[in-house]
Homo-oligomer: A and B are copies of this chain.
Amino acid sequence: MSEENIFSKFKEHSIAEFFKKNRQMLGFSGKIRSMTTIIHEYVTNSLDACQEAGILPDIYIEIKEMDKDAGKYKIIVEDNGPGIPKTHLGKALGMMLAGTKFHRYIQQRGQQGIGASGCTMYAILTSGKGIHVQSRYKGKKIECDLSVDFKTNSPVMENVIETEDGASGVKIEAEFGELKYEKSNYGPYEYIRRTALVNPYLKITFKDPYGEVFIFQRSSEQIPKKPKEIQPHPLGITANDLLEMAKREKKFNRISSFLQNRFSRITSSKVNEVKELVKEVDFNKNPSEVVWEEAEKIAKAFKQVKWISPSPEGIEPIGGELIEKSFINVLNPEMVAVIERKPAIYRGGVPFIVETCIGYGGGISQTNKKGEIMRFANRSPLLFDSGGCAITETVKQIDWKRYGFKEFEEEPVVVVVNISSPHIPYVSAGKQSISNEEEISDEIKNAIMGASREIQKYLSGKRREKEKEGRKKVVERYVQQFAKDLSELAESGKPEDIESMLHRMIEKKYGE
């Protein structure tokens, strides 16, 4: 091939073609992982939709084996969410990078607008047909077959039937190939179990390929808060972010009012502080007139001013009490320590909260699992790609011996870490691994060290308890003889009375 014609090969491609060729980037690599990815994407969407609509989620999942050797399964996922209207159904499930999530600065499980359409893609690639959908929305039910035109990344709806229906929710039914069901740490069962662990208000029913039905009941009736859009925090915002926001601004016509109203924690006195640092910028001019150099100077000045840390409003951690309750429910450890950190920020003012829960002994000792790490992001379990994940790497860096442990891998200990943020920095579109941003790693480290100290106190307390117990036993050994001797020496008192008196004394000293 010569230079003459290489440019005749120049083409443009759609995002759907890209992910079709690089399906592993969406989590479709390996038969077991692919199945978990499908369950993950649908459950994620259902939970987000229910939370947005203020509905207590009730999700039904069924996996039917069609042809095990060929890896063919039918998967059904049904929720009681608000449903999707006809106008948006195709794009929501059959067009990549379309949806309500990508552009809103809001804490949700999904954040890309790719997942569900990726599942439709995988159905087409492995079974030759798309998915079958029923959506009940505001009194109407729409039922159709849905697939993707890869060339144009656009949805194709066929066999559309519209009827009246009072209920609400989405039901997806589809056949997939190149899958494998396995009740391992990487399969749908474990994914569902962990989802239930950190979403106590969720009821989820799972029928596995052997017909066995598992019901995870909700342990709380508290409807989760609706997610809130969050304003960016000035700390670390980039010049480019600032410039883009300024150019888009329609309501506020001076830089000062724009800054005060579009950012979190910027008060008028803070605007004045910033002004002092960048005297060359006219804060009365219209935001649309801001140029790069000015945006850069303001962004730089932001870093020199002292700010209140970002508002926890809009970030919705699980909450220490609920984690502890769920944890005890599911794993029943001998000792639990929970740490909920304050909101922090990473790269450009993205706020996040780290929570951790460490369980030790008890039910964990019985499972025979040692040094287990359970990772979550916005309450979604992360089962794969643990190698490069900030959570795993941080846990491994902890010097566990400082906290009275042997090696982490040798102890009956489970570490749960959940990160909540309007934007989780995933390593890839497969969303199973969190990028190693320094601020996030630091928070994880502090949270784990805090919880470890509590475990340490408990363990060393237990050790003291044992020593005390030992001393008590030694003393008790002599009580009877001593009571007898004392009674004889004093020539008064019954040995039994003295003995019981001595026991009370010992109990007082060595008892609880």
Tell me if A10 is interfacial: C-beta within 8 Å of chain B.
Answer: yes
Interface residue ranges of A8-31 to B (CB < 8 Å): 9-15, 17-18, 21-22, 24-25, 29-30
How far does the alpha carbon of A1 sit from the alpha carbon of B435 in the complex, in Å?
Answer: 31
A25 near B292 (CB under 8 angstroms)? no
| Residues of chain B within 8 A of A393, CB atoms compared | 387
B128 near A239 (CB under 8 angstroms)? yes
A100 near B9 (CB under 8 angstroms)? yes
A240 near B425 (CB under 8 angstroms)? no
B124 near A25 (CB under 8 angstroms)? no
Tell me if A126 is interfacial: C-beta within 8 Å of chain B.
Answer: yes
Residue on B with the closest CB to A98? B12
Given A15-B97, A128-B296, A240-B128: A388 and B433 within 8 A (CB)?
Answer: yes
B102 near A24 (CB under 8 angstroms)? no
Interface residue ranges of A425-441 to B (CB < 8 Å): 425-430, 433, 435-437
How far does the alpha carbon of A87 sit from the alpha carbon of B387 in the complex, in Å?
Answer: 43
- Interface size range of chain A in the complex: 35 or more
B25 near A428 (CB under 8 angstroms)? yes
How far does the alpha carbon of A3 sit from the alpha carbon of B427 in the complex, in Å?
Answer: 32
A7 near B97 (CB under 8 angstroms)? no
How far does the alpha carbon of A137 sit from the alpha carbon of B17 in the complex, in Å?
Answer: 30
A243 near B433 (CB under 8 angstroms)? no
Tell me if A503 is interfacial: C-beta within 8 Å of chain B.
Answer: no
How far does the alpha carbon of A239 sit from the alpha carbon of B124 in the complex, in Å?
Answer: 10
Interface residue ranges of A118-169 to B (CB < 8 Å): 124-126, 128-129, 137-138
A425 near B112 (CB under 8 angstroms)? no
Residue on B with the closest CB to A99? B10
Residue on B with the closest CB to A434? B24
Tell me if A463 is interfacial: C-beta within 8 Å of chain B.
Answer: no
| Residues of chain B within 8 A of A95, CB atoms compared | 12
B128 near A25 (CB under 8 angstroms)? no
How far does the alpha carbon of A10 sit from the alpha carbon of B102 in the complex, in Å?
Answer: 9
Residue on B with the closest CB to A226? B1
Q: 17 pairs across A/B with beta carbons < 8 Å?
A: A2-B53, A3-B82, A6-B52, A6-B82, A6-B100, A9-B103, A11-B103, A13-B102, A13-B103, A17-B103, A22-B112, A22-B426, A30-B436, A124-B240, A128-B243, A128-B296, A385-B427
User: A7-B100, A22-B112 are known contacts; what are 19 more A-B pairs with Cβ within 8 Å?
Assistant: A6-B100, A7-B87, A9-B104, A11-B103, A13-B97, A14-B97, A17-B102, A17-B103, A24-B425, A25-B427, A25-B428, A25-B429, A29-B435, A29-B436, A70-B300, A128-B296, A178-B238, A387-B393, A388-B388
Can you list the 8 inter-chain pairs with the closest CB atoms, starting with the nearest? A128-B292, A428-B428, A387-B387, A387-B388, A3-B82, A13-B97, A12-B98, A9-B100
